[in-house]
């Protein structure tokens, strides 16, 4: 077997090691509840995959040269031996990772981005929707009490009751507008998402959601100005992601049902989302989505570095 063949075996084995390393780490990330917040688990998967590729290349090259000194030193024999070693050790690593992992829950811990909070919202809403206190809520109660029953997982019948009770209140639009910019990001998201449940939203909500977009932009400026030392866990970006997901839901609904614009607010949000490129959440939960809708609504082409839509 020639050195060229040995190098080819090393390259092929390295590719296999890259794949195996990524798969093993992906499994370990799930079994050991490694957070996806700010891309922690993703970076770990990529890092281990690259390491696996390098190690597997070395294993392949060394194995090929060992086979070359033995009986019947063929290319296939060298490749098979090297691949077997890589797959064997990868299987062993995966087994150890699984055995030492936490299998008490199928939910990954530490996830706080908007897309990944959907399951949490759904489960919480299912529990909330079954609470006996629903029927005890007085008609004059703040709409915040009713909004808890509009989240993911609530039945259509209960949502219809909540919709009727909220819209029957005098001044409910003003209340809802105030909740859109409340300090609690999850309550803000719930208030904004409620807009899409309205079959005929009142025109006043267009200006309310526009104001919520400007408020979101103001919050983004504060987060962009914060240092890593001031916000080491990037919690500010996570809160922005939650608010933004609700704002986009409301804006899409009002563009369709009321002819709302929201392009100026979206442009500003997109511009601000490009400031903190160190934030995975800012890039993928806000910048990616804002870039997509800027193109969809106004024909604005994405800039280099904007994450592609999923």
Residues 51, 148, single domain; the answer is no
Residues 54, 141, single domain; the answer is no
Q: Which of 71, 99, 127 is the last residue of a domain?
A: 99
Residues 272, 158, single domain; the answer is yes
CA neighbor of 10 nearest in space, from 72, 63, 84: 63
Residues 42, 131, single domain; the answer is no
Q: How far is CA 228 from CA 238, 283, 286, in A?
A: 14, 16, 19
Q: What integer pLDDT is reported at residue 126 of this predicted model?
A: 47
- Does 104 fall in a domain? no
- Does 48 fall in a domain? yes
Residues 74, 131, single domain; the answer is no
**Three-state helix/strand/coil letters over the chain:** CCHHHHHHHHHHHHHHHHHHHHHHHHHHHHHCCCCCHHHHHHHHHHHHHHHHHHHHHHHHHHHHHHHHCCCCCCHHHHHHHHHHHHHHHHHHHHHHHHHCCCCCCCCCCCCCCCHHHHHHHHHHHHHHHCCHHHHHCCCCCCHHHHHHHHCCCCCHHHHHHHHHHHHCCCCHHHHHHHHHCCCCHHHHHHHHHHHHHCCCCCCHHHHHHHHHHHHHHHHHHHHHHCCCCCCCCCHHHHHHHHHHHHHHHHHHHHHHHHCCCCHHHHHHHHHHHCCCCCCHHHHHHHHHHHHHHHHHHHCCCCCCCCCCCC
Q: Which residues in the chain show pLDDT less than 70?
A: 33-41, 102-133, 310
**Three-state helix/strand/coil letters over 60-114:** HHHHHHHHHCCCCCCHHHHHHHHHHHHHHHHHHHHHHHHHCCCCCCCCCCCCCCC
Distance CA 300, CA 292 (A): 9
Q: What integer pLDDT is reported at residue 171 of this predicted model?
A: 93
Residues 93, 176, single domain; the answer is no
Residues 89, 122, single domain; the answer is no
- Does 304 fall in a domain? no
- Domain of residue 15: give its range: 3-99
Q: How far is CA 209 from CA 49, 147, 164, 232, in A?
A: 44, 17, 21, 30
- Does 306 fall in a domain? no
- Does 196 fall in a domain? yes
Q: What integer pLDDT is reported at residue 299 of this predicted model?
A: 92
- Does 105 fall in a domain? no
- Does 310 fall in a domain? no
Q: What integer pLDDT is reported at residue 117 of this predicted model?
A: 42
Q: Which of 99, 123, 140 is the last residue of a domain?
A: 99
Q: What is the dihedral of CA 202, 184, 210, 152, to 10 degrees?
A: -50
Residues 65, 11, single domain; the answer is yes
Q: Which of 70, 99, 128 is the last residue of a domain?
A: 99
Q: How far is CA 237 from CA 37, 271, 275, in A?
A: 10, 15, 12
Residues 88, 155, single domain; the answer is no
Domains: count for the chain: 2
Q: What integer pLDDT is reported at residue 113 of this predicted model?
A: 42
Residues 208, 119, single domain; the answer is yes
Q: What integer pLDDT is reported at residue 302 of this predicted model?
A: 85
């Amino acid at each position: 077997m020639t050195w060229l063949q040995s190098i080819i075996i090393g390259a092929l084995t390295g590719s296999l090691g890259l794949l195996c390393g990524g798969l093993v780490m992906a499994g370990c990330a799930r079994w050991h509840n490694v957070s996806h917040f700010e891309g922690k688990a993703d970076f770990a998967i990529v890092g281990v995959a690259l390491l696996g590729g390098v190690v597997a290349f070395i294993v392949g090259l060394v194995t090929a040269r060992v086979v070359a000194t033995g009986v019947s030193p063929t290319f296939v024999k060298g490749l098979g031996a090297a691949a077997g070693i890589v797959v064997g050790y990868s299987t062993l690593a995966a087994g150890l990772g699984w055995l030492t992992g936490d299998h008490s829950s199928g939910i990954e811990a530490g996830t706080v981005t908007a897309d990944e909070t959907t399951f949490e919202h759904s489960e919480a809403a299912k529990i909330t929707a079954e609470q006996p206190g629903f029927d005890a809520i007085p008609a004059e109660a703040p709409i915040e009490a009713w909004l808890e029953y509009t989240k993911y997982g609530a039945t259509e019948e209960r949502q219809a009751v909540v919709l009727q009770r909220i819209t029957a209140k005098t001044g409910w639009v003003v209340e809802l507008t105030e909740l859109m910019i409340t300090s609690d990001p999850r309550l803000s998201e719930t208030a904004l998402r409620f807009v899409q449940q309205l079959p005929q939203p009142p025109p006043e909500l267009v200006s309310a959601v526009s104001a919520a977009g400007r408020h979101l932009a103001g919050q983004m400026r504060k987060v962009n100005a914060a240092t890593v030392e001031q916000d080491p866990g990037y919690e500010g970006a996570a809160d922005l992601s939650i608010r933004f997901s609700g704002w986009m839901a409301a804006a899409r609904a009002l563009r369709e049902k009321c002819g709302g614009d929201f392009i100026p607010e979206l442009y500003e949000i997109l511009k601000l989302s490009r400031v903190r490129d160190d934030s995975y959440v800012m890039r993928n939960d806000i910048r990616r989505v804002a870039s997509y809708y800027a193109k969809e609504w106004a024909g604005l082409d994405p800039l280099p570095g904007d994450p592609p839509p999923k």
